[in-house]
Amino acid sequence: MKRCGIFTATAIVAAILAGGPAAAQDSASARLEALKAEISKLQNEVATLKGDVAEGREEARGAAEQVVAARTATPADAPSVRVSSSNRPTICSPDGRNCISLTSRLQLDFGGYNYRPNTIATTPQDLVGGAIARRAQFGVIGTFLDDWEYNLVFEGGGSGGATSAVFDKGYLTYSGFKPFKIWGGILSVPYMLDRATSNNNITFMERAAPVEVAAGIGGATRSAFGITANDRQWWAGAFLTGPASGRTSHDARQTAATGRVVFLPVLTDSASLLIGGDVQYLFDAPTGASELNLRDRIEMRIDGNRILGTGPLPIDSARVLSAELAGTLGSFHFQGEYFDFNVEPTPGNGPSLDFSGYYIQGGYILTGEKRSYSASSGSYGSVAPSRPFDWRMGDWGAWEIAARYSMIDLNDRDIFGGRQENLTLGLNWYVNSNIRFMLNYINGTVDKRTGGGGDIGARYQAVGARTQIAF
């Protein structure tokens, strides 16, 4: 009994001793798990704090950038100032719908003549070379509300002998009725291919004589009202024209109408073909001291004298029909126009008179550029050098050679205006989009007679050069 009690007590003590460490181990594990959970919680809080700090830094940096941008940015309602591809400075309203631009062109001509009158009765007996400002223009052009365009230009140059500054152009156009455009004011009437081409872009220093004679009847630069329309491959226009700006009151009745239509059956990046026709009708001619005189110089205007001319004609009406043909093939380009003139004298001054003229020209751009077609004018533009002149980089701009033959015959019945023929060779250097140098050589004759058959013609050679700056 005693042994049994001792054994039982021993077993109880052993059980207690065995259960004590297990209980202690369970308690440590629980504390360890709690500690791990606390550490994980603290780590999450640290990560959250780091994210908040980084986000705060980004917000601060963004706020600083906004402050800098606000200090340097143009206000949303401020006008914009920009320069066009032709380096023309332009100021526009914030929405870009109203703009005003400066425009200018300067054409300085230098040259001389080897002029040989056939007889002492020829007038003039001499042509004098020298230097003139053929054109010295300055003005503004711009737009109102996208559809309205205006042009105001003053001219300080001219042909030989002209010195005074004049108001050259001032007109307004409206293009809200696509594809039509309405014109009104004093403008260069876009009649004929060579007149539709800007004098900044013509291949030679002067247009051919038959072009200028036809334009002098009722085209050229004068008061006009008309409408044009065009798409990519066609152009059409009609104008009612009046006297030129600054002319005398005798010219107030000089009223004419012109029309022009062109079509391009071929128009690609590498080739084009233009076919066109023109009509002009003078239905109210100037009278008195301002009677119309069909005349022109010898396609260089340093000397202002003319040998070709009918003299003042008592004209009741006049009509000119002309045809156009032009095109490009790579760097080669050509164009030509033919003119048929019919003049009706006033009653009692004889039967109608018929004159004619034409020109054909071609050119090749040695440096590979091409003349592009302008759909808005129905003509070809200038040459834009692919590598403008910069001797440091070995770039030499664009170079072009050209030739033209022109003829106009102003002889019919008892009118002896003369028959003029010119062969012109040209070399053009396009320094960049704004500067061009031109060199022309002219070899020509004027076959002119008096009513009695006397020779009053002449032969001549002329060399001219032009420095042109335009934007």
Encoded amino acid at 388, one letter = P
Residue 397 has a pLDDT of 97
What's residue 162's pLDDT?
61
Beta bridge partners of 396: none
Strand stretches in 203-331, DSSP E: 221-231, 234-241, 255-267, 271-284, 295-296, 308-309, 315-329
- Decide if 380 contacts 262 (C-beta within 8 A): no
Largest CA distance in the chain: 182
Cis peptide bond N-terminal to 124, omega within 30: yes
What is the spatial distance between Cα 181 and Cα 164, in angstroms, rounded to a whole number?
33
Looking at residue 323, its pLDDT comes to: 98
User: What pLDDT sits at residue 9?
Assistant: 44
383 with 399: CB under 8 angstroms? Answer: no
- The tokens describing 298, both together, are 């010898």
Question: How many whole angstroms separate alpha carbon 252 and alpha carbon 234?
Answer: 34
Q: In order of start, what are the domains of the chain with their CATH numbers? A: 80-470 (2.40.160.10)
pLDDT (tens, 9 = 90+) of the chain, 471 residues, equals 444 444 444 444 444 444 444 444 556 666 767 666 777 676 666 566 555 545 555 554 555 565 555 455 555 577 888 887 778 899 999 988 999 999 999 999 999 999 999 999 999 999 999 999 999 999 999 999 999 999 999 998 888 766 567 888 999 999 999 999 999 999 999 999 999 999 999 999 999 999 999 999 999 899 999 999 999 999 999 999 998 765 544 556 789 999 999 999 999 999 999 999 999 999 988 877 668 899 999 999 999 999 999 999 999 999 999 999 999 999 999 999 999 999 999 999 899 999 999 999 999 999 999 999 999 999 999 899 999 999 999 999 999 999 999 999 999 999 999 999 999 999 999 999 999 999 999 999 999 999 899 999 999 999 999 999 999
**Tokens at residue 58, please?**
């980004």
> b/e per residue, 179-212, with b = 16+ CB within 10 A?
eebebbbbbbbbbbbbbbbebbbbbbbbbbbbbb
Which residue from 189, 204, 212, 162 is spatially nearest to 339, judged by alpha carbons?
Answer: 212
Rounded-to-10 torsion of CA 259, 351, 345, 192: 20
Identify the sign of the CA torsion 135, 193, 251, 309.
positive
Find all residues with CB under 8 Å of 376, minimum gap 6, and list them.
230
CB distance 257 to 280 below 8 Å: yes
Whether residue 156 contacts residue 133, with contact meaning beta carbons closer than 8 Å, is answered with yes
pLDDT score for 27: 62
The three-state secondary structure class of 74 is coil
CA dist 139 and 158 (Å) reads: 16
